[in-house]
A and B are shown apart, each in its own frame.
Chain A
Amino acid sequence: MNKAATTAKTAPKVGPDVIKEPSMLKQKAMIDANFKLLATANEEGRKVSSTFVPGNLNELQMCFDLNCNFPEINALQNGMRKKSGRLIMEAERNGQSEDVCTYVKSDLGMIMQGNIGPTGDKLPDPDVLLLSYTGCFTFMKWFELVREKYDCETIMLHVPYQADGKITQNMRDYVVKQLKEEVIPTLERVSGVKFDIDRLRQYMVESAKAEDDLVWILQSAKNTPSPIDAFFGGVYYIGPIFTAFRGTEAATEYYRTLRGEIEQRLANGQGPVTPEGNFGKERFRLVVEGTPNYTNFREFWKMFYDEGAVVVASTYTKVGGVYDFGFRHDPDNPIESLADYCLGCYTNLSLPARIRMLTSYMEDYQADGLLVNSVKSCNSFSAGQLLMLREIEKRTGKPGAFIETDLVDPRYFSAANVKNRLESYFQMLEQKNATQAA
């Protein structure tokens, strides 16, 4: 066997020393602080709400001094910390089907095992379950299930689906009325705090500032090379604004810092930051549809940056709010803009609307291809993705790839399988590019 061929490929290891920039440290501090706040909430008499990321009413909840717990975030954090597998099995041992959403099972398993959160801090018993039924049917069942375990109020905020690709006045009125007549009065009762609309306006001023910066950050990927990875990196960028920090000055500050860092990278002509340092040469630009896998997040990311593949746009970074087509929280119409925010979240959009969005990303961000990461857990995302792929391939003439994993169930991440497909895909893109260049 010849020498070149026998240069053994040593298994690359993801090093423990992850490169951190100031914005990352800041974010980590923010998230840790929120977990600490939650850990002491029950004892210190602060009221707690549990709620979902899509369609969350963070500014409104802050008006009632509620501490906010996000079961989805707990699930994904448990996934990243390799704790979700055993929690899911715990839920399955207690009667949950293996067929259903693993976010739900991870959460239920965690509650059954004493509700110790991902950071090891105890999570509080909620005072209210704020069920924002936005873009996901399973949310409804999730809180019905969680409700069985607690003696607290559940508020249903039913957000109609944008089936025809637009928000009608009827939908908006319905959500606004629910907010005014059901959500706000219930939150007043639970918290004992009187609603002050000016306080809501003030939070929304902050929301809009952060949203401006977030949009700038995500759109910086239109540059070549892209200074960010809009999926793996993007997952971190959306952290504060999709959760307990939208509307806070801390979030505004975070996004200002992050923007500054990216402006610098752009000026230096640098690519994204990866857990192993700077990105090498940008070889492929991809748009990603679907959620990440959290149990093997870094291993998954590495399969991309090792090959020079950068994600320039993703839909996952729009699940907690679609801002890049102009929507901002509006201090002048705070309740209405909350309604429009809820109605506009990505998974509340029709399939044709999602296809239009992805097609525009493919074009505006000059992508070489579309990658769909289809997760077993999330039918809201996944059902129809194969048709979306086909349709977008047809409209853009760019080839797509399809891989299957799960959000937080490690049993559904087959590294060899995923790598095989990704490698095949990248080699195909390379071969095509080489042929076109020739």
Chain B
Amino acid sequence: MDCFIGIDLGSTTTKAVVMDQNFQVLGRGITNSRSNYDVAAEVAKQEALLNTRFHLFRQSLSSVSALDGQLDDFLDQLVRDFRLEQFLEQLADLERTCISNATADRFGGDTEALHEALGEVFRRLTIEAPDQFAPGAQRKSDFFRDIAGSRYLAVGEAVAGESGLSFDYVLNVYDRSIIDVENRISEETLSDKLMRALDRTFVAFDDLSAASHAVRAPVRAVLDTVLAETYVIGTGYGRARLPFSKEHIRSEILCHGLGAHVMYPDTATVLDIGGQDTKAIQIDGSGIVENFQMNDRCAAGCGRYLGYIADEMNLGLHELGPLALRSTRKVRINSTCTVFAGAELRDRLSLGEAREDILAGLHRAIILRAISILSRSGGIRDQFTFTGGVANNGAAVKALKQLIKENYGDLTINIDPDSIYTGALGAATFARRATDGDGDEGPATTTEH
């Protein structure tokens, strides 16, 4: 089937959206942006195509009576099992890479002990892996680097301690290896991995063993469906580094404008706060951009600022918003400058001000910056759509709503939980439109997966 794909190469994450002929979103994928932009784009796209397969599984399995009442559970389990298979594959790659990097010229007489320790570390990681993907298991994120990294540190430290080997050695090997592993694309086909995952799922759903064929056949059929990449459009801050020709690239401004319009057709003003920049976009009734402004040279007040604050307070990025929402007292933070914010933070903590109050002040400070960029672009008009990673932060949203109410009155404010995909959605829409011949895009060509 024809697929139209948008890829948004952001500074922290890369997102992809797959759309069908009828502008229906089939799948979404996300991965962490990394040193190799091509790989980030490819991984995000593969994730979105995978997500598309699951979308298609759901469609075709919905008519399988054996799954009545447990289709959701079954698919959720299948996703987990697939992730586990993926994880194990990359873990094996990481082990091979670590071993090959643990060479005698670097580690001298400790090399052999290091190899043994690595073998033990990976043995334990492999054994515990299914627990990571068990139902209800909490993972910090779904990116290999994050899951493997945190577990490797914990297990590696234990093994090093037991064997009397320097933990630094174990760490050093990992640091050398992870980037290579992260930047390699799996050579195994999706089908093989998925069929293995399906085997695992059937173990979990042993009552379905009789219906095995009824389930496997439609899954197989979906896997045999060719997902043609009919047209791909890239966007985002890193778009210039995508190996795409010019007609396959759109600015993130156009894509965010159109993406917000597709999500909420009455959108007039869009605010996107991402990791590196803040964008304020004014669009017309068809999603055409009329004006935009981005943060000035000073990147203060972007998502990265929150990351910096989280580090400074020794908190996870996702903990900031909920903590700030517990604030009971208004504290004004004057520095949105990342350089000074840390110092101001420490100053205020030492004065005995409450952490949640300071955090609430910081969120307001960021949103104030956004308000000024919005103002430069022409203000806030009805409806207003807020997108980007920071749109998932409750404290930021609260501050924004309050400031909009105070300065622009009651407006409809749209925030989609999937707003992180706005740019990719716009790009996919451009890709779909390109084949209608209403753009100046080149002829579509097709490759098959």
List the interface of chain A (C-beta within 8 A of B): 1-9, 376, 386, 389-390, 393, 399-400, 402, 404, 412, 414, 416-417, 419-421, 423-424, 427-428, 431-432, 435
Within 8 A of A (CB), among B252-309: 252-254, 286, 288-294, 296-297
Q: Check if B253 sits within 8 Å of A404, measured CB to CB.
A: no
By a CB distance below 8 angstroms, the chain A residues around B232 are 1-2, 5
Q: Check if B297 sits within 8 Å of A4, measured CB to CB.
A: no
Instruction: Name the contact of A424 in the complex, choosing from B245, B246, B254, B378 (C-beta under 8 A).
Output: B254
Q: Nearest chain A CB to B422's CB is how many angstroms away?
A: 15
Instruction: Name the contact of B251 in the complex, choosing from A412, A417, A420 (C-beta under 8 A).
Output: A420
Closest 6 CB pairs of A and B: A424-B251, A424-B253, A7-B245, A404-B297, A2-B445, A5-B248
Chain-A contact segment, one of B142-150, B236-244, B313-321: B236-244
User: Roughly how many angstroms separate A4 CA and B442 CA in the complex, as a whole number?
Assistant: 8
Q: How many residues of B contact A (CB 8 A)?
A: 36
Instruction: Name the contact of A390 in the complex, choosing from B237, B253, B254, B376 (C-beta under 8 A).
Output: B376
The chain B residue sitting closest to A423, CB to CB, is: B251
User: Roughly how many angstroms separate A171 CA and B286 CA in the complex, as a whole number?
Assistant: 53
With an 8 A cutoff between CB atoms, is B432 at the interface?
no
Q: Check if B244 sits within 8 Å of A9, measured CB to CB.
A: yes
By a CB distance below 8 angstroms, the chain B residues around A6 are 243-245
By a CB distance below 8 angstroms, the chain A residues around B444 are 2, 4
By a CB distance below 8 angstroms, the chain B residues around A435 are 286, 288
Q: Nearest chain A CB to B375's CB is how many angstroms away?
A: 9
Q: Check if A4 sits within 8 Å of B247, measured CB to CB.
A: yes
Q: Check if B243 sits within 8 Å of A404, measured CB to CB.
A: no
- In the complex, 21 of the A-B residue pairs with CB atoms within 8 angstroms, ordered by the A residue number, are A1-B232, A2-B232, A4-B442, A5-B243, A5-B244, A5-B248, A9-B240, A9-B243, A9-B246, A386-B376, A390-B376, A399-B290, A404-B296, A414-B297, A420-B237, A423-B251, A424-B251, A427-B250, A427-B253, A428-B289, A435-B288
The chain B residue sitting closest to A428, CB to CB, is: B289
User: Roughly how many angstroms separate A185 CA and B294 CA in the complex, as a whole number?
Assistant: 53
By a CB distance below 8 angstroms, the chain A residues around B253 are 424, 427-428
By a CB distance below 8 angstroms, the chain A residues around B290 are 399, 428, 432
The chain A residue sitting closest to B244, CB to CB, is: A5
Q: Check if A431 sits within 8 Å of B291, measured CB to CB.
A: no
Within 8 A of A (CB), among B351-384: 376, 378
Q: Nearest chain A CB to B80's CB is how many angstroms away?
A: 29
By a CB distance below 8 angstroms, the chain A residues around B231 are 2
With an 8 A cutoff between CB atoms, is B172 at the interface?
no
Q: Check if A4 sits within 8 Å of B445, measured CB to CB.
A: yes
- The listed residue with most A CB atoms (<10 A of its CB), out of B231, B250, B253, is B253
Q: Nearest chain A CB to B190's CB is how many angstroms away?
A: 16
By a CB distance below 8 angstroms, the chain A residues around B291 are 393, 399-400, 428
By a CB distance below 8 angstroms, the chain A residues around B245 are 4-7, 9
Q: Check if A421 sits within 8 Å of B289, measured CB to CB.
A: no
With an 8 A cutoff between CB atoms, is B447 at the interface?
yes
Q: Check if A4 sits within 8 Å of B237, measured CB to CB.
A: no
Q: Check if A428 sits within 8 Å of B292, measured CB to CB.
A: yes
By a CB distance below 8 angstroms, the chain B residues around A389 are 376
The chain B residue sitting closest to A404, CB to CB, is: B297
Q: Check if A402 sits within 8 Å of B293, measured CB to CB.
A: yes
By a CB distance below 8 angstroms, the chain B residues around A420 are 237, 240, 251
By a CB distance below 8 angstroms, the chain A residues around B446 are 2
By a CB distance below 8 angstroms, the chain A residues around B69 are none
Q: Check if A427 sits within 8 Å of B297, measured CB to CB.
A: no
By a CB distance below 8 angstroms, the chain B residues around A402 are 293, 296, 376
Q: Nearest chain B CB to A377's CB is how many angstroms away?
A: 13
Q: Check if B376 sits within 8 Å of A2, measured CB to CB.
A: no
By a CB distance below 8 angstroms, the chain B residues around A9 are 240, 243-246
By a CB distance below 8 angstroms, the chain A residues around B85 are none
The chain B residue sitting closest to A416, CB to CB, is: B240
By a CB distance below 8 angstroms, the chain A residues around B109 are none
- The listed residue with most A CB atoms (<10 A of its CB), out of B250, B297, B445, is B297
How many A-B pairs with Cβ below 8 Å?
A: 88
Q: Check if A431 sits within 8 Å of B297, measured CB to CB.
A: no
With an 8 A cutoff between CB atoms, is B136 at the interface?
no
Q: Nearest chain A CB to B329's CB is how many angstroms away?
A: 34
Q: Nearest chain B CB to A278's CB is how many angstroms away?
A: 20
With an 8 A cutoff between CB atoms, is B443 at the interface?
yes
Q: Check if B288 sits within 8 Å of A431, measured CB to CB.
A: yes
User: Roughly how many angstroms separate A308 CA and B290 CA in the complex, as a whole number?
Assistant: 20
User: Roughly how many angstroms separate A404 CA and B297 CA in the complex, as a whole number?
Assistant: 6
By a CB distance below 8 angstroms, the chain A residues around B250 are 427
With an 8 A cutoff between CB atoms, is B229 at the interface?
yes
Other A-B pairs, 4, CB within 8 Å; known A402-B296, A427-B250: A5-B243, A399-B290, A404-B297, A428-B251
By a CB distance below 8 angstroms, the chain A residues around B42 are 1
Q: Check if B240 sits within 8 Å of A431, measured CB to CB.
A: no
By a CB distance below 8 angstroms, the chain A residues around B248 are 4-5
Q: Check if A1 sits within 8 Å of B254, measured CB to CB.
A: no
User: Roughly how many angstroms separate A431 CA and B294 CA in the complex, as a whole number?
Assistant: 19
Q: Check if A431 sits within 8 Å of B289, measured CB to CB.
A: yes
- The listed residue with most B CB atoms (<10 A of its CB), out of A4, A5, A7, A412, is A5
The chain B residue sitting closest to A389, CB to CB, is: B376
By a CB distance below 8 angstroms, the chain B residues around A423 are 251
By a CB distance below 8 angstroms, the chain A residues around B376 are 386, 389-390, 402
Q: Nearest chain B CB to A404's CB is how many angstroms away?
A: 4
The chain A residue sitting closest to B258, CB to CB, is: A431
User: Roughly how many angstroms separate A400 CA and B290 CA in the complex, as a whole number?
Assistant: 10
User: Roughly how many angstroms separate A404 CA and B234 CA in the complex, as a whole number?
Assistant: 26
By a CB distance below 8 angstroms, the chain B residues around A404 are 296-297
Q: Check if B246 sits within 8 Å of A2, measured CB to CB.
A: no
By a CB distance below 8 angstroms, the chain B residues around A2 are 229, 231-232, 444-447
- The listed residue with most A CB atoms (<10 A of its CB), out of B42, B254, B443, is B254
User: Roughly how many angstroms separate A325 CA and B42 CA in the complex, as a whole number?
Assistant: 57
Q: Nearest chain B CB to A92's CB is how many angstroms away?
A: 17
Within 8 A of A (CB), among B362-418: 376, 378
User: Roughly how many angstroms separate A6 CA and B445 CA in the complex, as a whole number?
Assistant: 11
- Binary interface encoding of chain B residues 206-230 relative to chain A, with 1 for a CB under 8 A from any of its CBs, else 0: 0000000000000000000000010
By a CB distance below 8 angstroms, the chain A residues around B297 are 376, 404, 412, 414, 417
Q: Nearest chain B CB to A400's CB is how many angstroms away?
A: 8
By a CB distance below 8 angstroms, the chain B residues around A414 are 297
- Binary interface encoding of chain B residues 23-57 relative to chain A, with 1 for a CB under 8 A from any of its CBs, else 0: 00000000000000000001000000000000000
By a CB distance below 8 angstroms, the chain B residues around A424 are 251-254, 292, 294
Q: Nearest chain A CB to B266's CB is how many angstroms away?
A: 18
Q: Nearest chain B CB to A378's CB is how many angstroms away?
A: 15
By a CB distance below 8 angstroms, the chain A residues around B254 are 424, 427-428, 431
The chain B residue sitting closest to A412, CB to CB, is: B297
By a CB distance below 8 angstroms, the chain A residues around B442 are 4
User: Roughly how many angstroms separate A389 CA and B297 CA in the complex, as a whole number?
Assistant: 17
By a CB distance below 8 angstroms, the chain A residues around B289 are 428, 431-432
The chain A residue sitting closest to B286, CB to CB, is: A435
The chain B residue sitting closest to A429, CB to CB, is: B289
By a CB distance below 8 angstroms, the chain B residues around A416 are 240
The chain A residue sitting closest to B38, CB to CB, is: A1
User: Roughly how many angstroms separate A424 CA and B297 CA in the complex, as a whole number?
Assistant: 16
User: Roughly how many angstroms separate A203 CA and B244 CA in the complex, as a whole number?
Assistant: 58
Q: Nearest chain B CB to A13's CB is how many angstroms away?
A: 15
- The listed residue with most B CB atoms (<10 A of its CB), out of A8, A417, A420, A435, is A420
User: Roughly how many angstroms separate A390 CA and B288 CA in the complex, as a whole number?
Assistant: 20
Q: Check if A427 sits within 8 Å of B229, measured CB to CB.
A: no
Q: Check if A432 sits within 8 Å of B246, measured CB to CB.
A: no
- The listed residue with most B CB atoms (<10 A of its CB), out of A7, A376, A419, is A7
User: Roughly how many angstroms separate A400 CA and B378 CA in the complex, as a whole number?
Assistant: 11
User: Roughly how many angstroms separate A7 CA and B445 CA in the complex, as a whole number?
Assistant: 12
By a CB distance below 8 angstroms, the chain B residues around A419 are 240
The chain B residue sitting closest to A3, CB to CB, is: B445
User: Roughly how many angstroms separate A131 CA and B234 CA in the complex, as a whole number?
Assistant: 53
